[in-house]
Amino acid sequence: MDAEVLRLPAPAKLNLMLRIVGRRDDGYHLLQTVFQFIDRCDWITLRRRSDGRIRLLSPLPGVPEEQDLTVRAAQLLRRVTDVEYGVEIEIEKNLPMGGGLGGGSSDAATALLGLNALWRTGLSLQDLMVLGLQLGADVPVFVNGCSTWAEGVGEVLTPLELPEPWYVVVVPSCHVATAQIFSAPGLTRNNKPIKIADFLAGQQENHCLPVVSELYPEVGVALSSLGRFAPARLTGTGACVFAAFSDEADARAAAMTLESEWSVFVARGRNRSALHQALKLV
Please give the positions annotated as active site.
13, 138
Contacts of 110 (CB under 8 A, 6+ apart): 8, 9, 10, 42, 44, 70, 142, 275
Contacts of 42 (CB under 8 A, 6+ apart): 9, 10, 91, 92, 93, 94, 95, 103, 106, 107, 110
- In angstroms, rounded to a whole number, what is the distance separating the alpha carbons of residues 52 and 56? 13
Q: What 3-state DSSP class applies to 114?
A: helix
Ramachandran sector of residue 52 (left: φ over 0; alpha: ψ -120 to 50; beta: rest): left
